[in-house]
Structure formats: structure tokens, C-alpha cells
Amino acid sequence: MKLLLGSNNKHKAEEIKAIFDSKLPGKIVLLTLDDVLDDAFDVEETGDTLEENAILKAEIYHKVTGLPCIADDTGLEIDALDGAPGVMSARFAGEHGNDTANRALVLDKLTGVSYEKRTARFRTVICYFGNSGVELIAGTCAGRIITNERGKGGFGYDPIFVPDGFDTTFAEMSAEQKNAISHRGRAVTKLVEFLEKEIGV
């Protein structure tokens, strides 16, 4: 089955492809936008929620390409910041996709907040949009925000997030370790189950 990932994020594509390859070996050909579009094309995330943004992107990319499409939106929700950055996670510091500035702003806003009160969670919502209908699937990973960046792997807020039950950040984990417990890993695992049951992959 050919499935389009409605994202220009190469890190995200690598994570999802690795999970598909491990759980559905040889059954899913994950296409990226570079594979099917001649020109770069981004869908602006204008929704007020992760769900709205995931649906928006999946629907537009499906209509443009005619391919069944998955698209996601992910947010980091920090309790001490009243759930921020949330849906604004990718552009928390202003410029979309400036991971370094986004992390720095989070750490600055949490200055003086004790570790016990730095509880947070990553939440991913994936939308499948195809001829057979629309499906929304979510995955969550709870943890805490540390005071300094650690690790060279991952992307986004990974160097400052330690998941519950672990002493290492996402950025210090191998891709396999992170995918086994992460918000996106959990959501993609549920997506695999949906594809197997509903579409007969």
C-alpha cells in the first residue's frame, strides 16, 4: 500500500518509516512530499487544536495528490505554563521550526520552577485521510522538562524532555528506544492497527 506523509519534516518521516518497517515489513510504502510533488508545498497550520491541524493537512495533501494520506500535529504541553506551547509548539519563539529558539524560550519561562512542578506531556494526533474515510488517532507520552539540554539525537524539544520512568532525555535515546515509548511511536502503532483492521493491509 502506498501512503503519503503530509509533512516536510525529514526527522518525522524517518521515525514513522522505521515503525512501519518493524511492524508492517514490506506492506507500506511511505511516500514523502518530495516523492510526489515537483515543487515544495506547505500547508499553513491555522487550526486552534492539534486535531484541526492534522485534519487540515491530511485533507489538502490527499486532494492535491489523490493518495491516501497521513498527517500529524504534535504539541508539548507544560503544566507550569498552563499547557503551553501546545498547538504553537513548532513556532513558540516566533519562527516556525526554529527548534533551538523554541527550547531556549521554554527553559527561560521555567526559570525557578522546581523539577517536581515541571510536569509535561507530548501529544501527537495523526489524521488518516483516504477514500475509505477519515480517522483520528492520538498518542501521549508524559514526563518532565529538565533545566539544561542533553543529548544529540531526536529533534524539537527532545533534548529537554525526560519521559516518566527514565533518566535520559529523548535526545539521549536510540531511535528504537524513543519510538517504543514516544507519543508519535504510540500513535503510529495505533495507526498500524487501524490499517490492518480497517483497510486490510
- Residues designated as active site: 73
Count of positions (residues) in the chain:
201
State the DSSP string of 125-160: EEEEEETTEEEEEEEEEEEEE-SS---SSS-TTGGG
Q: Is the dihedral of CA 145, 147, 151, 156 positive or negative?
A: positive
**CB-based contacts of 157: which residues, under 8 Å, 6+ apart?**
76, 89, 99, 102, 103, 106, 122
E strands along 40-169, which residues?
A: 69-78, 85-86, 119-130, 133-145, 161-163
Q: Is the dihedral of CA 48, 53, 54, 60 positive or negative?
A: positive
